[in-house]
Structure 1
Amino acid sequence: MSEQTHMKLELDDIQRGVLSSRPTPYAATYILFRIDDRAHGRELMRRASAVVTSAAESMSPLGETWVSVAVTYHGLRALGVPQESLDTFSWEFRQGMAARAKALGDTGDSGPENWEPPLGTPAVHVVLTALAPDRARLEAAIEHARPAYHRLPGVTAIWRQDCYALPTETEPFGYRDGISHPVVEGSGIEGSNKLETPLKAGEFVLGYRDEMGGVQTPQPEVLGRNGTYVAFRKLHQRVAMFRRYLKDNATDPEDEELLAAKIMGRWRSGAPLALSSPHDDPDLGADRSRNNSFLYEEDDPTGFTTPGGCHIRRANPRDASVAGVPRLHRMIRRGTAYGPLLPEGVLEDDGADRGLMFAFVGAHLGRQFEFVQSQWVNDGVFFGADDAKDPVVGSNDGTGDFIVPRRPVRRRLPSLPRFVVTRGGEYCFMPGLSALRWLGDLEG
């Protein structure tokens, strides 16, 4: 076993996009590339190693601006990575997101047959992401990265999605976003929940011990070490439908906001029900030192304050008593909004495409991202709710309900429609900087 499993995180070799939380406000761009010429693809990797921001640069003059590069399984094949090396990557990564769609709940409108081209196809080889606190610095970051792919005719940009903080600094449904972020041992980056015990680095970075004591490292070690897996997803949000559902099931505007809080687990201000029920507390919601520091088991084990089936409790049960071990399924999640804001009060769909570019970061695609999607988001058995799905992002079809625990009689929200539709996505490997150079120096 490598000595690296016992060492501190090699921050200068880990991409900044692995460990850092998203800035607020933000601007972001995702650019997908196809490699048509192997030599040019390798040159792209060599150049990328010089422009990608490392985790050690978190205190640099760039501040909260960074560029990341990730590669799909088909991209690694296009670069000429030997098959014996490809076979050491996770099974889910090798299959790709489109092949895993049914397990993820991506069926019907969210099925790969309805995805936005070229998402989920073998043509997607490289994903370049740039993130910054504002559009000016984003453009500067893109300009800084442009030499990496400029004048390489064998590398073609095939898709781009621009994202930006909405004027409300919320996601399209109106909730404050980008709140929860775990603390990773050895990263030097603070987590958002002061009550959460730091997680082992191997949960998020390949080549280090994870919570189970194991070490996952694709081979050769120079390729796998300090890398991670990333799941990118474009998620279209049916904002008008969401607003109408709340209005149709509420008694008045105040009740609408209560229902919105109950199905999310937070008021739209960002204030968690665990710390602010029964009334919103916008000051708490805006306070990033307080708005995520809470647990469930001691104060709310039965979910009377924060329903067991609400979005944030499903996505991260924290210390709640559920089937399984929540720490083994902890994820780094990031979301960046795209598309125009639907004006306040509008209840009819205007036909615009709006939603979130979602990114999962972790060392275990199966027991982190896929487990949460299949067992927590799209099933309710883990907390005793049979097949009930997440009311916000679950693959609902109009037949399921959401139950709000309440005394003396619980409240039932019927016929949940699908509010979020998958427009496409892909599983990627985000290499360390040494690995990018190794990919650039491949021969044959």
Structure 2
Amino acid sequence: MSEQTQVALELHDIQRGVLSPRPTPYAATYILFRIDDRAHGKELMRRVSAVVTSAADSASPLGETWVSVAVTYYGLRALGVPQDSLDTFAWEFRQGMAARANALGDIYESSPENWEPPLGTPDVHVVLVALAPDSTQLEAAIDRASPAFDTLPGVTAIWRQNCHALPTETEPFGYRDGISNPAVEGSGIPGTNQLEAPLKAGEFVLGYRDELGGIQTPQPQVLGRNGTYMAFRKLHQRVALFRRYLKDNSTSPEDEELLAAKIMGRWRSGAPLALSPLHDAPGLGADRSGNNTFLYQQDDPAGFTTPGGCHIRRGNPRDASVAGAPRLHRMIRRGTAYGPALPEGVLEDDGADRGLMFAFIGAHPGRQFEFVQSEWMNSGIFFGAGNETDPIIGSDHGARDFTIPRRPVRRRLHALPQFVVTRGGEYCFMPGLSALRWLGDLQG
């Protein structure tokens, strides 16, 4: 029997949103709540535990709508979780995302004092994420569920962000998104890179062994086991600025698309440069079984095909020789667009707020999300590029350059603008279903 089949994940107790890829197309919403009355907060936990779908279920209690629930550090405190229990959670989670701004590169325009209220404040206690096939069905489901929240005057909805996934699966800059997902031992869900061995369950679900052989479980066991950490971020994307930069630094429409591919590591269709280095291949881009099955080290160690500093190679260096073992920094990533699309060909900003609601899921926020942000996205030292940052989401350190290896002379892009600005976010804990019920019955 293989090691993978020996791992017995308690799928019935894990929220479906932890492990299952999102469908497409879909509409989604993030709703934040503040708990002003502890008894009403506990009742909220009891009610949501009845509608959250487990990873073992093929059907949702709300029909076509899927619901996930997470709680912040301040939310656990508001519910009455004892301090000795709170002290067993990851310290990044206890500090909160706003306090981690410097480590994450949230500086200048992205700094917490510029965030959209109430993001990053102690008022954010509970995060509810709902998905449905389209906005009409989503709104109908929210309308059906709202009486459950409206009858709890001690729980207040304080923020909401609607978002959506297009049938094209593209994000606001025009690239196919949501391609790379790791396989998790015991989940029964295949990964998207057939060359990557499944990762230990403890990398993503608390209470199981991770890649280092350890088991991380906040206490008591009933609260921590089968939970995970989630970081969500609202990322505003300057689409017109991005388009203008590509156009101004290209010699032809073909060169513009090649430059866009070198910056991302993929063509807009999702086809990776690693498998189609000279031209876009839309058929490959749409092929879920083939558009992510590749490595770097054997065929492209110097980055002549896929630059070491491009977005996808920074986020997941795969087998490349870099500072930091890539498997220890893998994470589950969810991204959902928000705001109206900027019409094709428009190069002037229309003033609309658009971008991506980003969500990280993992058991180790420090060595997964924060490490990737600080060491791989906001620095180039790990692959020998000094202070260069990620060309798309890297923070503004005053020297935004990007190097494209090329023979006989490398290509250098200078003074890249800040294309993405953080508008806010938070670290959360996604409890297992039994933990949600335990929170609802917590004494005190």
Q: Same fold (TM over 0.5)?
A: yes
Task: Give 1:73's aligned residue.
Answer: 73
Q: Distance in 1 between matches of 2:167 and 2:421?
A: 23
Deviation per CA, 1:391-423, whole angstroms, max 9, x where unpaired? 011013552210111001110111111100000
Contact 2:60 2:66 in 1 (8 A): no
How far off is 1:320 after superposition?
0.7
Instruction: Tell me: CA distance 1:276–1:62, structure 2 relative to 1, closer, same or farther (3 Å).
Output: farther
Q: Give the partner amino acid of 2:426.
A: E
Query: For the residues of structure 2 that align with 1:314 and 1:263, how far apart are their CA atoms?
Result: 11
Q: Matches of 2:167 and 2:151 in 1, distance apart?
A: 36
Kindly provide the CA deviation profile for residues 277-322 of structure 1, in whole angstroms up to 9, marking residues without a partner as x. Answer: 1110001001111111111111111111000000000000011111
Kept in 1, the 8 Å contact 2:393–2:419? The answer is yes
Question: Paired residue for 2:402?
Answer: 402
Question: Which digits, 9 at most, give the CA deviation of each residue in 1:16-68, with x for residues without a partner?
Answer: 01001121222110000000000000000011110001101146798974100
Which residue of structure 1 lines up, in the alignment, with residue 171 of structure 2? Answer: 171
> 2:233 — aligned with what?
233
Task: Tell me: CA distance 1:32–1:59, structure 2 relative to 1, closer, same or farther (3 Å).
Answer: closer
What's 1:56 paired with? 56
Q: 1:119 to 1:38 in 2, by over 3 A?
A: same
Q: Which letter does structure 2 place at the counterpart of 1:386? A: G
Q: Name the residue aligned to 1:3.
A: none
Q: Which moved more, 1:16-25 or 1:367-376?
A: 16-25
- Secondary structure of the corresponding residue to residue 101 of structure 1: helix
Q: Matches of residues 275-290 of structure 1 in structure 2 within 5 Å?
A: 275-290=275-290
In the superposition, relative to structure 1, how do residues 62 and 151 fare at CA in structure 2: closer, same or farther (>3 Å)?
closer
2:401 aligned counterpart, secondary structure: strand
Q: Deviations for 1:255-295, whole angstroms, at most 9, x for unmatched residues?
A: 11000000000000110000111110001001111111111
Shift of 1:167: 6.6
Q: How far apart in 2 are the matches of 1:232 and 1:312?
A: 19
State how far apart, in whole Å, the 2-side matches of 1:78 and 1:337 are.
31
SS of structure 2 residue aligned to 1:70: strand
Structure 1 segment 153-192 matched on structure 2, within 5 A: 153-166=153-166, 168-192=168-192
Aligned counterparts of 2:8 and 2:63: Cα–Cα separation in 1 = 23
Q: Gaps (5+ residues) in structure 2? A: 1-5
Distance 1:48 1:361, change over 3 A: same
Residue matched to 1:311: 311
Which residue of structure 2 aligns with residue 26 of structure 1? Answer: 26
Secondary structure (helix, strand or coil) at the match of 2:139 reads helix
| 1:365 aligned partner, one-letter code | P
Structure 1 pair 218–144 and aligned structure 2 pair: CA distance change class (3 A): farther
Give, in whole Å, the separation in 2 of the partners of 1:365 and 1:58: 29
Superposed displacement of residue 147, structure 1 = 5.2
Distance 1:81 1:62, change over 3 A: closer
Which AA in structure 1 matches 2:43? E
With over 3 angstroms needed to count, the CA separation of the structure-2 counterparts of 1:410 and 1:169, relative to structure 1, is same
User: What is the DSSP-based 3-state SS (H/G/I as helix, E as strand, rest coil) of the residue aligned with 2:367?
Assistant: helix
Counterpart for residue 297 of structure 1: 297
Give runs of aligned pairs for residues 386-397 of structure 1, distance below 5 A: 386-397=386-397
**Comparing 156-165 and 129-138, the one that deviates more:** 129-138
Farther-moved stretch of structure 1 (9-18 vs 395-404): 395-404
Give the secondary structure class of the aligned counterpart of 1:32. Answer: strand
What CA deviation, in whole Å up to 9, does each residue of 1:109-146 have, x standing for no partner? 00000000000000000000012332244335435644
1:191-211 CA deviation, whole Å, 9 max, x = no partner? 111111000000000000000
Task: Indicate if the aligned counterparts of 1:340 and 1:354 stay in contact, CA closer than 8 A.
Answer: yes
Partner Cα distance (2:389, 2:289) in 1: 31
**CA 1:63 to 1:50, structure 2 compared with 1: closer, same or farther past 3 Å?**
closer
- Matches of residues 25-424 of structure 1 in structure 2 within 5 Å? 25-58=25-58, 65-143=65-143, 145-146=145-146, 148-166=148-166, 168-397=168-397, 399-424=399-424
Give the aligned length. 439
Bigger shift: residues 16-25 or 216-225? 16-25
Inter-partner Cα distance in structure 2 for 1:65 and 1:178: 20
Contact kept, 8 Å, 1:235 with 1:424, in 2: the verdict is yes
Amino acid at match of 1:18: V
Q: Is the 8 A contact 2:115 2:423 kept in 1?
A: yes
Structure 1 residue runs of 5 or longer lacking an equivalent are: 1-5
Question: Match for 1:338: what amino acid?
Answer: Y
Q: CA deviation at 1:168?
A: 4.7
Asked if the contact 1:181/1:191 (under 8 Å) is kept, the reply is yes
Decide whether aligned partners of structure 1 residues 171 and 407 sit closer, same or farther in structure 2, where only a CA change above 3 A counts: same
1:430 shift after superposition = 0.3
Q: For 2:96, give the aligned amino acid.
A: G
Paired with 1:301 and 1:144, the residues of 2 have a C-alpha distance of: 54
- State the TM-score, normalizing by the size of structure 1: 0.96
Q: Is the 8 A contact 1:48 1:148 kept in 2?
A: no
1:141-184 CA-to-partner distances (Å, cap 9, x unmatched) read 43564454231000000000000124754100000111111100
Q: Which moved more, 1:381-390 or 1:197-206?
A: 381-390
Structure 1 runs, 4 residues or longer, greater than 4 Å off = 59-65
Q: CA RMSD in A?
A: 1.5
CA change 1:61–1:31 in 2 (3 A) is closer
Separation in 1, partners of 2:159, 2:61: 30
Q: Distance in 2 between matches of 1:222 and 1:147?
A: 29
Q: Is the 8 A contact 1:397 1:417 kept in 2?
A: no
Give the Cα separation in 2 of the matches to 1:13 and 1:321: 38
TM-score, normalized by length of structure 2?
A: 0.96
> Which residue number corresponds to residue 3 of structure 2?
none
State the distance in 1 between where 2:152 and 2:59 align. 32
Bigger Cα displacement from structure 2, 126-135 vs 54-63: 54-63
Q: How many Å separate the matches in 2 of 1:293 and 1:224?
A: 34
Amino acid paired to 2:263: I
- What secondary structure is seen at the aligned counterpart in 2 of 1:276? coil
1:314-364, Cα deviation, whole Å (9 max, x unpaired): 000011111110000000001000001111111111111000000000000
User: Contact conserved, 1:51 with 1:145, CA < 8 A, in 2?
Assistant: no
CA contact (8 A) 2:223 2:432 kept: yes
CA separation in 1, counterparts of 2:58 and 2:101? 35
Cα offset for 1:228?
0.2
| Distance across 1 between alignment mates of 2:75 and 2:61 | 32
